[in-house]
Chains A and B, each alone.
Chain A
Amino acid sequence: MGLDFSLATPKAKKPSEKGGPVLYDLIVIGGGPAGLTAAIYGGRARLTTLVLAGTLPGGETANIDILENFPGFPKGINGAELAQRFQRQTERFDAKIKTDVVTKVDFSEQPFIIQTAGKEYQARTVIVATGAEPRRLGVPGEDKFFGRGVSACATCDGFFYQGKRVVVVGGGDSAVSEAIFLTKFASEVIIIHRRDQLRASKIYQERAFDNPKISFAWDTVVEEILGDKTVNGVQVRNVQSEETSVIKAEGVFLYIGMTPKTELFTDQLELNEWGYIVTDRRQHTSVQGVFAAGDVQDPYYRQVVVAAGTGSIAAMEAEKLLSDYPGRY
């Protein structure tokens, strides 16, 4: 293991707000690329800006081994490193970052109210950038074996599978790139995919096909995760032949897509049929003064660069609203 030292988690700042709730020009909920970009723009626009980042600063970006398509890094950049750079840049412009988890919001009137476990905040404008979280399979054995063979984080847990056989479920960029990453540790990686071809970008596909440790189970879905104390295999079904069989493996890594984190907003903002926040092209939501950016409103692209872009739009729109209606907001 190469030693490096990351400051990616925000430090404990002495709470400056004693007494009643503090009113911010802009509160950003979420600390991924969308939220932090919004905060950089907000801070530079001299809005008093607070980021309530939740438990994972950097968001899902922090989970990516190497990002090869974020412009400006010709050799690629580690996701955690990039997240840390976003964070430093945000702090440079006086936006505060807290790791508090938001428990409740009230967008029904101005100022908007945002509650965390211990505090209440008020905001003139809000940008929701809570992102999306890895989807679960919803099959027997998944919960029981989570942390005992079932994982959604290859960078966290890859180490525990040295010399072992693992399966990766999924066929997108995450699934294929993490499968490639896992070959550093595992003796064999089997990608289980429900279709007969991968959805991942061609460059990842080529690398996976060329990797002698990687093999594929096509047209296959996982029906159960098997094991005793820890995982020893998965029961799968071929969707073409309807035949079931067992694939032996000690680790199961899940990369079957994302689901938006919108449970706080179900009765506050308009969501679409899949639970994503509905926004217009300028990132406005159904409530004036509340904007959304990043994966929480993007079922299609889920790219760091897109998330950052929508974050900047949301912040510019928030600033515009505040300056157009200085008394009201």
Chain B
Amino acid sequence: MSLLNEEIKEQVTQELAGLESPVKIVMFTQEFECQYCSETQELIEEIAELSDQLSVEVYDFVADEEKAGELNIDKVPAIAVIGEEDYDVRFYGIPSGYEFSSLLHAIQMVASKETELSAETLEILKELTEPVHIQVFVTPTCPYCPQSVILAHKMAIASPMVRGDMVEAQEFPQISQKYQVMGVPRTVINETAHLEGAAAEPMVIAKLQEVIEG
């Protein structure tokens, strides 16, 4: 039985009909000790069938260690959404529930390179001289979370210095604990700074500036 029902498939087909350019979904899986690896693989394979512009590559996190290193993948299941180039758009954990829409959003954004970020934000991102890592912790049942994930992905697409990760808190309890996640969305910037709740673009960018200026 497929993960996506016919109704959702039809909607996804419509959503992806306008993809401007090819998008590659690179997934990392692992045979053992990975709660949703096989479902994640099934999910992206089902989505890939719905658009000619989509292709899928699947790697084993252990056997293809080198490839994982190349894409900075450090946990599974992992999805890298790659367009004309790799913009560091990542999903760790299965993008189910509300996060499914974040995945579709990411696919559309890397295809169009259209982020709709404000001019001020783009200006600040352009000036970045050091790497910025944005991790957004989510649960699939959190309606506020996709906005934060999408924002992190937009910034990753807009700037080669920014990496944007969705991290599904329930699948990575140790990591969630390490970052003291007790509520979602929680946006962690460069390990140290964090924002609680669905912070709007100006708040995230202000926090990011704070981090860089140290």
Contacts and interface: CB of A to CB of B under 8 A. Distances in A.
A55 B98 CA distance: 13
B101 interface: yes
Interface in B170-214: 170, 176, 180-184, 186, 196-198, 200-202
A77 interface: no
A12 B116 contact: yes
Given A118-B118, A156-B139, A3 B94 contact: yes
Q: Which of B3, B98, B169, B200 has the most CB of A within 10 A?
A: B98
A56 interface: yes
A156 B12 CA distance: 25
B101 A4 contact: no
Interface string A54-79: 01111000110000000000000000
B116 A11 contact: no
Q: How large is the interface on B (under 10, 10 to 19, 20 to 34, 35 or more residues)?
A: 35 or more
A209 interface: no
Interface in B88-147: 94, 96-98, 100-102, 104-105, 108-109, 112, 114, 116, 118-119, 139-147
Interface string A1-40: 1011111110110110000000000000000000000000
Q: Which of A5, A15, A101, A229 has the most CB of B within 10 A?
A: A5
Interface in A134-190: 146-151, 153, 155-157, 159-160
B8 interface: yes
**Closest 6 A/B residue pairs (Cβ):** A147-B196, A62-B143, A156-B142, A147-B183, A5-B100, A9-B101
Interface of A: 1, 3-9, 11-12, 14-15, 55-58, 62-63, 80, 83, 88, 99, 101, 117-118, 146-151, 153, 155-157, 159-160, 229-230, 251
